[in-house]
């Protein structure tokens, strides 16, 4: 288990390593340095990287126990702009946009109501006279106007439906067995950590800043006491290996001994 100096030497042995430091992000002080600094002063670099590490560690957006985002409500039936109930399976929209005529059956005609003006959604009542399907003619019986039932499933009269569509779900309800309900069941409860997450571990594992010429890797160190320490590696972009550097810094952070 290496100490600070040995840990920094191993960090500097990585391909493309230009500088390294162990920094306390609470005070902004460097506990140990090796190699060069991007600005020529390790203390300045430590103070600036500490500000970035502090923001990542303290902001709630990056906390592992942040409550999951609520699922958006499922779209429900359109509501009547006048404040009436949403249309059901037997409502016909007529007149203008959003004008509803309750009680009409799909395929029925709309006739003006006596004494009412003509307007969007006003003065119209459903005419429930059966309308024959295309290619079929109504055959009235003696003394009555029995609708034609030939060609209709179950002998249903023309102009009617044997069965309407299923009733819409309540506003905001998520159907059982749908992908949305499955995803909601897999999310942890608000305020609880996902399975496998150590509550004593640092809230953030690492922060990577990519510049035009290099990488800055900030790896948080987990300790037995309440600390705010991270390893900072400045890596050359053309000769460094970012994936290898992240793996090695994770190993070193786990083995580092702070006394």
Using alpha carbons only, what angle is made at residue 198 by residues 194 and 202, rounded to the nearest 5 degrees? 110
Q: What is the mean pLDDT of residues 146-174?
A: 54
CB 100 within 8 A of CB 78: no
Contact 203, 62 (CB under 8 A): yes
Residue 214's pLDDT is 97
Q: What is the pLDDT of residues 12-70, one digit of tens each?
A: 999 999 999 999 999 999 999 999 999 999 999 999 999 999 999 888 888 776 455 55
Indicate the SS3 state at residue 92.
strand
Instruction: Name the band, by pLDDT with cuts 50, 70 and 90, for residue 180.
Output: low
What CA–CA distances, in Å, run from 67 to 71, 186, 259? 12, 13, 35
Kindly report the number of other CB atoms within 10 A of residue 211's CB atom: 10
d(CA 13, CA 22): 16
- How many Å is the maximal CA-CA distance in the chain? 108
127 close to 112: Cβ distance less than 8 angstroms: no
4-63+193-255: CATH class: alpha beta
Name the burial class of residue 31, with classes exposed (0-12), middle (13-18) and buried (19+) by CB atoms within 10 angstroms of its CB: middle
Task: Give bridge partners of residue 32 from the DSSP assignment.
Answer: 22
Q: How far apart are CA 90 and CA 77, in angstroms?
A: 13
Q: Return the half-sphere exposure (C-beta side, CA atoms, 13 A cut-off) of residue 9.
A: 5
Which is nearest to 254 in space by CA: 229, 221, 231?
Answer: 221
Q: pTM, whole model, 2 decimals?
A: 0.52
- For the ranges 93-102, 118-127, 203-212, the one whose mean pLDDT is highest: 203-212
pLDDT of residue 213: 96
Residue 2 has a pLDDT of 72
Query: Which pLDDT value is given to residue 3?
Result: 85
Domain ranges of the chain: 4-63+193-255
């Amino acid at each position: 288990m290496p100490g600070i100096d040995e840990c920094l030497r191993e960090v500097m042995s990585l391909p493309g390593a230009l500088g390294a430091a162990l920094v306390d992000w609470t005070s902004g002080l460097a506990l140990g340095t090796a190699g060069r600094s991007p600005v020529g002063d390790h203390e300045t670099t430590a103070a600036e990287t500490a500000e970035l590490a502090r923001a990542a560690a303290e902001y709630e957006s990056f906390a592992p126990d942040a409550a999951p985002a609520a699922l958006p409500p499922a779209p429900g039936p359109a509501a009547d702009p006048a404040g009436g109930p949403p249309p059901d399976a037997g409502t016909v929209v007529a007149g203008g946009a959003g004008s509803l005529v309750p009680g009409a059956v799909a395929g029925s005609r709309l006739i003006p109501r006596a004494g009412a003006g003509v307007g969007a959604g006003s003065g119209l009542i459903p005419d429930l006279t059966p309308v024959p399907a295309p290619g079929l003619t109504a055959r009235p019986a003696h003394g009555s106007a029995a609708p034609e039932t030939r060609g209709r499933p179950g002998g249903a009269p023309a102009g009617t439906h044997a069965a309407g569509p299923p009733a819409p779900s309540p506003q905001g309800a998520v159907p059982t067995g749908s992908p949305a309900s499955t995803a909601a069941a897999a999310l942890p409860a608000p305020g609880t950590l996902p399975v496998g997450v150590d509550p004593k571990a640092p809230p953030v594992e690492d922060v990577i800043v990519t510049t035009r010429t290099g990488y800055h890797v900030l790896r948080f160190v987990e300790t037995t006491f309440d600390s705010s320490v991270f390893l900072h590696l400045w890596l050359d972009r053309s000769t460094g290996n970012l994936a290898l550097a992240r793996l090695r810094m994770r190993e070193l952070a786990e083995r580092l001994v702070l006394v």
